[in-house]
Amino acid sequence: MNTKTLLFKSYIWALIALLMLSPYSCTMMDHPCAAEAAALAAAQTAVANAEQAETNAKRARDIANDAYNIAMGLEDLAILALSGCLATTPLGCALLAAAVVAAHFNTQNAKDALDLQQSLYNQAIQATNQARSTRLAASNALAACLAAHPNAAISPQTQSITADVLLKKDFFEKELVRIETLQKNISSNYKNTEDWLSICKKNGQDITTASSALEDVQSRMNAMNKQHDDIQRDYKVVLEQVKSSKDQ
């Protein structure tokens, strides 16, 4: 999600909150649901910040992943060169062997960096999900409060609640599309890594790196599937809210 989209969504949520807190809405500051409205606005700000942090963490993870793939490629080239080395050039073979060792250390360092960035990215995803859960709870609390005070819930407030629900519905629909696209990419990556591991086994090569890569992809796939399930669950709740809003 880019910065412009975040700013636009933050603007919409702020506009909703201001509408509910404005004097035009029958002095919402004295409204029994003023605290819930303020909590919802604060929760949306927290979501916007968490989403930006998640985007930054993903970018850093992707950069680390590219560096790791490059390091593995260089190590494979060094191993290939060493395997074709002739015994008549012992010095050249020794240099190639040293290059293989150096390439292996570089690959390991890149893997450690990738693991760190993946961990930070996973933490950012969890923080975003937590922020969204808090926002959903705040939205539900505000809707319940307004329902409990029907005499105070005049037209502008009712309109703002409807806008809030529809905005969340639009957000979750776009988020599901994004997650499902990532799931397809990870599934393709998993298949390619499986093929790589199979080739290594078939050729009698060391499978440590390929096995580790497959485990990493599997872990990312599991995390993405869980995120999809969480969003799908929240989306169903929002759909019920949309139906409830239309029935009112």
Per-residue pLDDT of the chain (248 residues; tens, 9 = 90+): 554 454 445 444 544 554 444 443 434 445 677 777 778 878 888 888 888 898 889 889 888 988 888 888 888 888 777 776 654 566 777 777 788 888 888 888 888 988 998 889 999 999 988 998 888 888 788 777 777 766 554 444 444 555 566 667 777 777 788 778 878 888 888 888 888 888 878 888 788 888 888 888 888 888 888 878 877 887 787 777 766 655 55
For 172-200, b/e burial (b = at least 16 CB within 10 A) is: beebeeebeebeeebeebbeebeebbeeb
First to last CA, the chain: 33
The span from the CA of 188 to the CA of 68, in Å, is: 18
pLDDT of residue 167: 66
The span from the CA of 166 to the CA of 36, in Å, is: 18
Taking alpha carbons only, the member of 45, 61, 38, 48 closest to residue 4 is 48
Q: What's the whole-model pTM score?
A: 0.49
Residue 80: Cβ-neighbour burial (10 angstroms; 0-12, 13-18, 19+): exposed
CB 80 within 8 A of CB 204: no
